[in-house]
Structure formats: structure tokens, C-alpha cells
């Protein structure tokens, strides 16, 4: 094998590697949301839990785009036993369309926020507009549809004219 053929093979492998990095970085290989939902429709999130330990899943930080409507617990065994593991079921709703990170922490309610959670999870949620609902961009920028607000928009207002002339002052 000559040195030129070694360099040629090295350049080919470097090109394949660079293409792979570029391909992966474009989101073609992944970047899919963990959950897809419709705006204003509850989504069920199921996470492993054991309520007898005092831990439960909660929003972290508490102020996020998603809101927990309800939570329940389902035992893994047919006969519920104290201390047995199970699944915490959260009903979460998102008020508008978009892409959100739903950050949840597994912590005890009585512990201060300075105590780190036992576990955390971050779910990517893609929220689509509800059926028949306009997207946020359509609500904001479509002129042929009546706006949701009764406040006049700048493009709807008539120019205000006064009968006097505007005088420009020149610096002295």
C-alpha cells in the first residue's frame, strides 16, 4: 500500500465521518418528540413511582406551559400491597400549540426545594392545534379572519389627521 492510497482512504473515512456528523446534526436521525398532543386536550404521562415512600412526580419548576389536571396511582400487582411499586399517572394539558419541555422531578412534598430530587425526567412534547382551531401564527397574522380580540389593531385604525401643521424646530 502506497502512502497516497493511505491518504486517500483516510480522506474518504474523514468525509464519511463528517457526513455522518452533519446528517445526525440536522435532526434526521432523531429529534422526535417523546409525546405528541393537541392543544387543550389532556395527555396521559405514566411514570414509575412508589407513594409509600412519600415521593411523587411533580412539575419542576412548577410554572411551566403544561398544567397537571389530575394524578392517580396504579399498582403493579393485582393485590395492592403496602410498599409495592407502581405507576403514577399524570393528566397534563397544554393551552397552546408549540414544542415544550415537560420537566418532572420525583420528590417529597415536605422537603425544601434545596434538597435535590431523587429522580428527574425531561419529556419533549409537540403540541398541535386542536382540530378546527387555527394555529398561533394564523391567529396573529391572518387578516381575513376576525381577530379573537376586540382591540383595534394598528393596520385597522384610520390615520388621525389634525388641521394644524407640524413645525420642525432647528437647533440654535
What fold is seen in the domain 35-141? Immunoglobulin-like (2.60.40)
Please give the grid coordinates belonging to residue 42: 389532556
- Top pLDDT among 48 and 130 is at 48
Q: Tell me the residue ranges of DSSP E strands in the chain.
A: 35-38, 43-49, 55-59, 67-75, 86-93, 98-108, 119-128
Q: Which triple of cell numbers denotes residue 75?
A: 399498582
Q: Residue 124's pLDDT is what?
A: 92
Q: Which of 6-10, 67-71, 99-103 has the lowest mean pLDDT?
A: 6-10
CA distance 98 to 138: 13
- The mean of the pLDDT values for the chain is 77
Over 80: is that where the pLDDT of 2 sits?
no
- State the pLDDT at residue 34: 86
The reported pLDDT for the residue numbered 106 is: 94
pLDDT range class, residue 89, cuts 50, 70, 90: very high
Mean pLDDT of 98-109: 91
C-alpha grid cell, residue 81: 400491597
Amino acid 153: pLDDT: 55
Tell me the pLDDT tens digit for each residue of 13-35.
Answer: 666 665 555 555 554 555 688 88
pLDDT given for residue 90 in this prediction = 93
Cell 420528590 maps to which residue?
107
pLDDT at 13: 67
pTM of the model: 0.59
Radius of gyration (C-alpha) of the chain in whole angstroms: 28
Domain borders along the chain are: 1-31, 35-141
How large is the average pLDDT for residues 50-57? 90
For residue 152, is pLDDT > 90?
A: no
27 burial type by CB count under 10 A (0-12 exposed, 13-18 middle, 19+ buried): exposed
Answer yes or no: are the C-beta atoms of 25 and 83 closer than 8 Å.
no
For 11, the grid coordinates are: 480522506
Return the bridge partners of 108, or none. Answer: 55
- Average pLDDT, integer, range 113-141: 80
User: 17 and 25 in contact (C-beta within 8 Å)?
Assistant: no
Strand pairing category for 35-38 and 119-128: parallel
* Rounded percentage of the chain residues whose pLDDT exceeds 70: 63
User: What cell was used for 96?
Assistant: 397552546
Amino acid at each position: 500500500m502506497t502512502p497516497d492510497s493511505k491518504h486517500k482512504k483516510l480522506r474518504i473515512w474523514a468525509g464519511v465521518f463528517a457526513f455522518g456528523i452533519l446528517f445526525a446534526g440536522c435532526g434526521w436521525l432523531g429529534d422526535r418528540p417523546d409525546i405528541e398532543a393537541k392543544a387543550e386536550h389532556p395527555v396521559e404521562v405514566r411514570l414509575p413511582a412508589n407513594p409509600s415512600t412519600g415521593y411523587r412526580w411533580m412539575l419542576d419548576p412548577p410554572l411551566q406551559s403544561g398544567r397537571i389536571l389530575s394524578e392517580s396511582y396504579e399498582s403493579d400487582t393485582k393485590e395492592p400491597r403496602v410498599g409495592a411499586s407502581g405507576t403514577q399517572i399524570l393528566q397534563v394539558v397544554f393551552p397552546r400549540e408549540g414544542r415544550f419541555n415537560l420537566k418532572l422531578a420525583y420528590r417529597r412534598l415536605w422537603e425544601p426545594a434545596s434538597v435535590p430530587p431523587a429522580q428527574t425526567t425531561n419529556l419533549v412534547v409537540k403540541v398541535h392545534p386542536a382540530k378546527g382551531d387555527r394555529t398561533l401564527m394564523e391567529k396573529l397574522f391572518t387578516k381575513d379572519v376576525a381577530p379573537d380580540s376586540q382591540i383595534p389593531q394598528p393596520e385597522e385604525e384610520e390615520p388621525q389627521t389634525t388641521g394644524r401643521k407640524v413645525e420642525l424646530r432647528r437647533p440654535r
